[in-house]
Copies of this chain bind each other. A is one copy, B any other.
Amino acid sequence: MKKLIAISQHEIEADFILRNALIADVFLLQWKKADLVVANGRIIAVDTEGKYKARHEEDANGRYCIPGLIDAHIHIESSMLTPEQFSRILLPHGVTTVISDPHEIANVSGTTGLSYMIDEARHALMDIYYMLPSSVPATSFEHAGATLKAADLAPFTKDKQVLGLAEVMDFAAVLNGDDDMLAKIQLGLDHHMIIDGHAAGLNSKQITGYRAANIHTDHECVSAEEAIERVTQGMYVLMREGSAAKNVRAILPAVTPQNARRFAFCTDDKHLDEIIDEGTINASIKMVIEEGLEPLQAIQIASLNAAECYRLHNLGALAAGFQADFVLLDDLEMMQIAAVWKRGEKVAENGHMLTPATTLTEVPASILQSVHLPEITAADFTLPLSQSLVNIIEVIPHQILTKKLTAHVDVVDGEFVPNIDKDFLKIAVFERHLNRGTKAIAIVHGLGLQAGAVATTISHDSHNAIVVGTNDADMATALNALQAMQGGLVVVKDGEVLAQMALPIGGIMTNVDASLATEQLHTVHEALHVLHPTLSFHLFLTLSFLALPVIPSLKLTDTGLFDVEAFEHIDIEVN
């Protein structure tokens, strides 16, 4: 501190000065022509008098300089990258801090997975904060790789990277006063932490119940009305713009200069290729500026407001005393990013990281060996039926919702037979964590495969192995391929693997870098077109959500077909 004070008083040189910038003042909502003076990773001064000296300088030539952006809610695993690799694709887009819920890896590897994510994040140049997963497994109607109780989470509250409890999804458990859920919330409160909400579709009364449990944020708003309801009840609204859920435009009319302090941005889930192409929070800023929001207001929402929401008191502003996370723009409205500094070090320029990746944290063996399927043969996919009228999962393209379809299917010798013309295919979920032997086979409509099988170990939230196919033999080959490469994505036809991408970290993340991962992903997506020449939706993503029993209507877990509205397993045969 003594050194910083001496620098502030011009007694010692600073480390770095960005001269002649138009600096965003997110407190006054004004631009200020000034020099940004940095030392020890902190902002020493926003100086308008040109009075500081530093060892290194750079001239901004009058360009805009804004605080590093904050993503208030994201699941890093959805990028399929490790935290450090994830950091390397986001920093060039100006995102310098994320608050992440590692519930995907937690569903696979429990506390070992949490520890891995926290340890790995220490190698990242970006600040990665974590919320502790509140709902592992998501329901009791499936088998995940782990169950997390309050006692399991307790040791993590001591970690400086941990800010609270992640999205409390099970609103029924909260409103019913479920002891285990309240114990997790109380754990967070006892440690003066944030409790994140997940108030999808909740009405005013239900939000009131959430607030009785001190739930602080919601990232599931889909309209301005919902947003206003949450803000008036004292919550922060995290406006989401991800790959699947895009809510910013709908919420934006709610934002006014008077209430803007209660809004931040988040992405929740965003694909690797989209992150690389357009970034995350920077894209939301560009969008809301296009929609007419005052640019400084948009920047404040993406920086100071998110920092205040998560009580990160040294982040989110360009002023003396704050962490020196900042972004130089070539163009404000287009959010064209020239360079990014993290803790005062320039880390990215013109879309590229300036330093190579560090050596990754060693991944615990149990995480690298997380797929435990039995040897599978075509016979494992037999689906006996005593009648032809059945419940079918109907996929809605571009949505993670499904419909419950009732129809007659082909039954031969007491067994279901797929029908490619009618698009009635087999789908199966096999427990893959502990080789429990649980599996479920059902019928899906709308995926449109013409041949072969597609399988993955990414299947929210339990991440069992899920496979869809036109024939049992290819489905068996696909699952065996997943076992062989310890998880990933695979496309099979006529007994051959056409393409695959290994995700050996918990069966959900790659151990290669972002560019290689992008290539692999591209190859896998290309192979899908062999099976489905007219494919126009994200088939792997769609498949990944067909096992998620908290999103309506009909889903499949390793323990059977699940009716989400009834919140119970149902028979395939219509009773």
Give residues in A with beta carbon < 8 Å to B: 1-2, 4-10, 25, 27-30, 32, 42, 44-47, 51, 174-175, 177, 182, 185-186, 205, 207-209, 211-214, 228, 231-234, 256-259, 261-262, 308, 311, 317, 319-322
Structural contact, A319 and B232, CB atoms closer than 8 A: yes
Structural contact, B319 and A212, CB atoms closer than 8 A: no
Structural contact, B28 and A211, CB atoms closer than 8 A: no
Q: Given A5-B177, A27-B234, A44-B208, list of 16 further CB < 8 A pairs? A: A4-B212, A5-B209, A5-B213, A9-B175, A9-B208, A9-B209, A10-B205, A25-B232, A29-B259, A51-B205, A207-B320, A208-B320, A211-B319, A214-B321, A233-B320, A234-B321
Structural contact, A44 and B5, CB atoms closer than 8 A: no
Structural contact, A28 and B321, CB atoms closer than 8 A: no
Q: How far is the CA of A72 from the CA of B182 in the complex (A)?
A: 34
Structural contact, B232 and A8, CB atoms closer than 8 A: no
13 CB < 8 A contacts A-B: A1-B186, A5-B177, A5-B209, A5-B212, A8-B211, A9-B175, A25-B232, A27-B262, A30-B232, A44-B208, A211-B319, A211-B321, A234-B320
Choice from B8, B32, B212, B308 contacting A320 with Cβ under 8 Å: B212
Neighbouring B residues of A6 by C-beta, 8 Å: 177
Structural contact, B182 and A319, CB atoms closer than 8 A: no
Structural contact, A2 and B320, CB atoms closer than 8 A: no
Neighbouring B residues of A212 by C-beta, 8 Å: 1, 4-5, 7-8, 42, 44, 320-321
Choice from B208, B257, B320 contacting A257 with Cβ under 8 Å: B257
Structural contact, A29 and B320, CB atoms closer than 8 A: no
Closest 5 CB pairs of A and B: A211-B320, A234-B319, A211-B321, A2-B177, A29-B258
Q: How far is the CA of A256 from the CA of B25 in the complex (A)?
A: 14
Measured CB to CB, the closest approach of chain B to A40, in angstroms, equals 10
Neighbouring B residues of A321 by C-beta, 8 Å: 211-212, 214, 233-234
Q: How far is the CA of A32 from the CA of B234 in the complex (A)?
A: 14
Neighbouring B residues of A185 by C-beta, 8 Å: 1
Neighbouring B residues of A308 by C-beta, 8 Å: 308
Q: How far is the CA of A211 from the CA of B1 in the complex (A)?
A: 10
Neighbouring B residues of A174 by C-beta, 8 Å: 5
Q: How far is the CA of A211 from the CA of B311 in the complex (A)?
A: 18
Neighbouring B residues of A2 by C-beta, 8 Å: 177, 182
Q: Name the CB-closest residue of B to A32.
A: B232
Q: How far is the CA of A182 from the CA of B213 in the complex (A)?
A: 39
Neighbouring B residues of A47 by C-beta, 8 Å: 208
Interface centre among A7, A27, A208, A317 (most CB of B within 10 A): A208
Q: How far is the CA of A261 from the CA of B307 in the complex (A)?
A: 14
Structural contact, B28 and A259, CB atoms closer than 8 A: yes
Measured CB to CB, the closest approach of chain B to A371, in angstroms, equals 39
Measured CB to CB, the closest approach of chain B to A227, in angstroms, equals 11
Neighbouring B residues of A27 by C-beta, 8 Å: 231-232, 234, 259, 262
Neighbouring B residues of A51 by C-beta, 8 Å: 205
Q: How far is the CA of A212 from the CA of B10 in the complex (A)?
A: 12
Q: How far is the CA of A212 from the CA of B25 in the complex (A)?
A: 18
Neighbouring B residues of A322 by C-beta, 8 Å: 234
Structural contact, A228 and B9, CB atoms closer than 8 A: no
Structural contact, B228 and A258, CB atoms closer than 8 A: no
Q: Name the CB-closest residue of B to A178.
A: B2
Neighbouring B residues of A42 by C-beta, 8 Å: 212
Neighbouring B residues of A5 by C-beta, 8 Å: 174-175, 177, 182, 209, 212-213
Q: How far is the CA of A8 from the CA of B204 in the complex (A)?
A: 11
Known: A5-B174, A175-B5, A258-B257. A208 touches B29 (CB 8 A): no
Neighbouring B residues of A231 by C-beta, 8 Å: 27-28
Q: Name the CB-closest residue of B to A177.
A: B2
Neighbouring B residues of A205 by C-beta, 8 Å: 8-10, 51
Interface centre among A29, A317, A319 (most CB of B within 10 A): A319
Structural contact, B319 and A233, CB atoms closer than 8 A: yes
Q: How far is the CA of A29 from the CA of B10 in the complex (A)?
A: 43
Neighbouring B residues of A30 by C-beta, 8 Å: 232
Q: How far is the CA of A212 from the CA of B211 in the complex (A)?
A: 37
Q: Name the CB-closest residue of B to A260.
A: B258
